[in-house]
Every structure is written in C-alpha cells, then in structure tokens.
Structure 1
Amino acid sequence: MHRVNLYAAEGGLGLVVTGRTMPDLRLEVASGGRMLLRQQSRLVLLGKVHRWNYGVHVHRTGDYLSPLPPLRAHHARQVTPPGSAAWFDRWAHQFASWLDDADAGPLHNGFWILRPRRLPPYCLRGDLTTDYPDAYLDWFEGWNGVLPLSQLPDADAARVKAYRRQAREQVLPPILLWSVTGFDGYVLIDGYCRLAAALAEGIEPSVLVLAIGTDPEIGHDLLRQAAAHVELLNRVNEQTGVWGRADALRAADGLTRRFANACADLPEEQRTRAWPIRGGVRTWEQQAANVAHAWVAKLKE
C-alpha cells in the first residue's frame, strides 16, 4: 500500500512517498532521444529529441486524464484569503491528498516538493505550447514553458466561463504543474480550464509546482555546515593579530568560497526520473507508427 507523509519544507510542502515503486504517470526513454509518457496502460505522449539536441518533437495522443477530481465552485470560495501563504498551503495539502489517493499521478518513492512558484511571464505566454497534437519545444531558442498533455479548451466553453467568473472574483484555484527536466520545462497536470480562464481574462494564474526534492536531512547537514563555517570564520578573525590582516582575509575568503561551492552543488530540485521503455527502440517505433504515423513521417523529412 502506497503512502505519502507530509512535512514543512522550505517555501512549500514536502512529500515523502513510500510503497510506490512504479508511478502511474511516468516518463519512459530509449536510445536515440526517444521518449514517451505513459499513464497506466495508456500512451499519452511520444517524444523525439532533435539529433543535435536543439529541441524535442512531441506528439500527444489525447488519452491523458487528470489525476485530480474536478474542483467545485463552492470549494474554491471556501479557501481564503486568495493568494496568501495560507491559501497556497491549503491548496498544496489538498492537491497532495488527491495525488496520494489517485491512481494516475506521477508520484513514486522518494522525496518531493510541492510549492507555489511565480513563473516568468513567458512561461505561460510565448512558451506555452498551444500547438496540438504535434509540437516542437525549441531548446535552441531557450524554451522553458508549459506543455499541456491535452488540448486547452476554448474560452467560451461552459466550464471555462465558470472559472472566468472565479478569476474575476480573484478566487481561482491554482493550476498544478510537474517540473520535468527531460523537457526543460513543465507539464500541465491539472487546471486546463483554469488556465484557459486565466488567459482569457488576461491574468497570471496562481501556480503550484510538483518536483522531485532532496532528502530533508541534507538540509539539516547544510545548517550544521553553516554553523561550522561561522565558527571557523570567527576563529580566523581571532588570528588576525597573529597572521596579519591580509592572511586572515585570504583564509576567510577561501572558507567562504568552499562553503558557497558546497551550497551550489545541492540543487533544490532533482532530475525527473525516467524508466526504460520495455522493448527499447523497436517498441517506441511500433507505438509511434500505430498512433502517429504522419508525425513519424514528418520527423524523417
């Protein structure tokens, strides 16, 4: 039985996932830059990295299902005040609970972080992938946007209209993104109608990002290293009269550089895990030919 334990993390909510070795929504890869996204037994996305790593071609099949239940209007209005730290925290806990119960999400064993993020405007504007079902994520031009796994609904769709009202009332719940390092961007997990509503109203939607995190013990070790660093600096300063001020400053500078390098080597978010495609290249080619023959033919041009 899988289980998700929650803890307070820096700037968000930490998740410790156990009992889930294989996620229901997972990235699979084969040689030659071939990748796919599978949700349970359904093929959701095919991907092929450009031969010179200039970007990645993607094709979506239309079989993606959000792992979160539909959000009701009364639920959105109960979470207040909108945009506050407490508001984000309540939604993070709610999303984490739904992801724990879901059979179609990306969680697998390990440490995760779920936190609000204010994205640069281009992420949900120019770098939002609106081409569907085929698209190209242009790394050469610096793509770092959002990739929907289904087509975004029209602004006049019934559910989008309901969310547009919530957007005007400033109670629109956040969208949920999954940070996927293999795309160098984000995958839209939940909030298709909410995103469409925000764009139609000309506002930036609130965002919660799910990413693989680090062991919280590493953070505790870093705090201990920081305390030791301060103690060493104090000892160096005490030796100023013995060594001379120039020598003491050089020693302090060296200690600070080493500590800064140690901090830089500890990224807050880890690489997205991928599993090998069973059957490798042959399986990828067969599935691509079955569901996206025209897309495959275009890649060979």
Structure 2
Amino acid sequence: MRIEGPVKPGLRMESADGRRLVLLKGTVPVLFARQRATHRGVHYARTGRYASPLPPLRAERARAAAESAAPGSAEWSERWAAYAEAGLRAAADGPLHTGEWLLAPDAHRWFVDANWPKLLAHDPDRGHLTWFGYGDPVEDARDLLPLRALSHPEAPRVKAYRRQYREGVLPPVFAWWISGLNSPVVLDGHDRLTAALAEGGRPQVLLLSRAADAAWVARWAERPVLEYEKRVATLEGPLAPTRIANESRMLAARLRSIVHSYDLTRAWPFPGGAPGWDAAASAHVPGWAPDADR
C-alpha cells in the first residue's frame, strides 16, 4: 500500500529516553511499555482504553467472503486485506501514515504453535514479553499482544465467532507489527482471536507493517537468486524438471519473505520526554513499576 498521508497518524507510537514507549490513540494512551536494559524483553501495561479503528464485522460479510474464496487461501486473504485497507484508510484514528505499507499473511513464521494457548491462559493487563526466554517465565513467551483484555470464551460475541470458526468462515485477525515491542499487537479481532483459541484452533492472521525499502529488498534478494541459478545450472537427467520446479518454489518462498520483511515502526517524540512519560504512566497505570534494568 502506498499511503500519501497523514504524516502523523491518530494511532501511533511515541518514545522517550530510557527505552520508554507508549501507544496513543489521539491523545489517549492505550499501552505503556518499557524495554529491558538487557534487551531480553519488554514490560507493558494496558490502560483499558483501546478500541479498534475498524467497524465491527457482520456475519453476512464473513460468510460472503467464504463463499467467494476458500477460507485461508491467497484469494481469501487478499479480499480481507482489501477490506482492512479500505477501513484503515478511512479511519481517523488508524496507524497508517505517509509511506509504503504491507498487509499480508505472516511470511516469516513468526507465530510458534506452542505459544498460542498461552494467550488464553496468561494475558495480564500488566505483564512482560520475553524476546529470548533465558531465565524468564515460560508464559511470557507469547507471540501476539492484545491491546485490550480478551473476552471470556463464553461471552455472547465470542460464542457467535466460535460458531463461525466451526463453520469455517471466521474472518482473520488483523495485527500490527511494532518493532519497539518486537511483537505484533492485535489491531482488530480480539474476540475472533479468543473464539479460534477457545475452539482449540489457531486464527488466520494478516499482519500490517511498514514495507522494507526497495533498495534493501534488492540487496537481500541477490544472494538467493545467485544460489538458485548455480544449483539449477547443475541439474541434469530425467528428474531435472521436477527438481528445478522444487528449487523454484523454494526461491519464490524465500523472495516472498524478503519482500514482506517488516521495516522499523515509526515513533514520534513523547512531549515532556522521560519525566513526561513517567508522569503519564503514573496517571494512567498507577502503581506500575517495571523492573527494566535487568
């Protein structure tokens, strides 16, 4: 996606010295975060004031999308990406700002299957995400951060989405990659996330991120293309066409992951710097005192 504006979006990250981060929706803080000095993780505190920039999804749209393309297919993902793009472009409080963006399925296999159940079992409003896991609690190894508390699996709206999951028509979760957190956050679809996990499944996820620079993509694509050409040039015999086809598929997957690389998330300076951030955190998440020095 090529976005022409605004320069500063309504939903945005702001930062201050000392690895201090805050996610704002307009002037309202929805998430405070503090990176650890050892770069092993990030402490966070939700304020309970997040609301999706996208309108609620009606069941009729979910079923229509499933009828027009097989759920989980590339065409199905593209249709939902187009839906989300239109909604985010129209949103006054969305994350899009001037530049190139991607909205697509995860090409980097970020989500570890074993980490999904932890979201239902351990999703505190004030918690910690481990980046490497050494010496940290096992439950802190989560790959997705909800921006509000997840609803109970038996909540009416979640139960409706659980039916959609069983029918195979549940829309994807829209997530946003934030490099300062080294994690995607749930932009839209908290209840759909809960529904899929409550049914013992995994949600389909479309990830929003800033697109990597074209020159960077070209540089990183050079080596796999050269290696592919060398391998293919040596293939001979009756199995050569099959082996070339296999090499081509692997090259396509590698290039796709390079093209879909996540660029750094833009963060604006927080007014008042570190003292202003500390005061805002005390006001919106009183008593939160993350141990960010270890």
Normalised TM-score (structure 1): 0.76
Residues 217 and 285 (structure 1 numbering): CA distance in 2 closer, same or farther, change over 3 Å? closer
1:64 counterpart = 2:56: no
Contact 1:129 1:147 in 2 (8 A): no
Residue in structure 1 matched with residue 168 of structure 2 by the alignment:
170
Match of 1:212 in 2: 210
Q: 1:1-301 to 2 correspondence within 5 Å?
A: 15-80=1-66, 81-117=70-106, 119-126=111-118, 130-141=122-133, 143=141, 145-215=143-213, 268-296=261-289
Q: Distance in 2 between matches of 1:280 and 1:57?
A: 19
Match for 2:143: what amino acid? G
Structure 1 residues 79-133: Cα deviation after superposition (integer angstroms, max 9, x where no partner): 1221221111110100100000111211111111111126331453337794321
What SS does structure 2 have at the residue aligned with 1:57?
strand
Alpha-carbon distance, 1:277 to partner: 0.7
Q: Deviation of residue 139 (structure 1)?
A: 2.2
1:122–1:145 Cα contact (<8 Å) kept: no
User: In structure 1, how many angstroms separate the alpha carbons of the residues matched to 2:201 and 2:266?
Assistant: 33
CA distance in 1, matches of 2:271, 2:80: 36
* 1:88 to 1:297, Cα distance in 2 relative to 1, 3 A: closer
Runs (5+) with no aligned partner, structure 1: 1-14, 234-263
155-164 or 112-121: which moved more?
A: 112-121
For 2:85, the aligned partner's letter is A
C-alpha RMSD of the superposition: 3.1
Report % sequence identity. Answer: 39
| SS of structure 1 residue aligned to 2:288 | helix
- Structure 2 CA distance for aligned equivalents of residues 181 and 299 of structure 1: 18
Where 1:126 maps in the other structure, the secondary structure is helix
Taking structure 2 as the reference length, the TM-score comes to: 0.78
User: What letter matches 1:271 in structure 2?
Assistant: L
Higher mean C-alpha displacement, 142-151 vs 97-106? 142-151
1:111 and 1:72, CA in 2 relative to 1: closer, same or farther beyond 3 A? same
By how many angstroms is 1:299 displaced?
A: 7.0
How far apart, in 1, do the equivalents of 2:218 and 2:262 lie?
A: 16
> Would you identify which runs of 4 or more consecutive aligned residues in structure 1 move more than 4 Å?
215-223, 264-267, 297-300
Q: Is the partner of 1:105 in helix, strand or coil?
A: coil
What is the Cα deviation at residue 267 of structure 1?
Answer: 7.6
The change in CA–CA distance for 1:70 and 1:273 in structure 2 (over 3 A counts) is same
Residues 144 and 184, structure 1, Cα contact 8 Å, conserved in 2: no
| Distance of 2:283 and 2:183 partners within structure 1 | 27
Instruction: Name 1:10's counterpart in structure 2.
Output: none
Is the 8 Å Cα contact of residues 67 and 99 (structure 1) preserved in structure 2? yes
Whose Rg is larger? Answer: 1
- In the aligned structure 2, how far is the partner of 1:70 from the partner of 1:265? 33
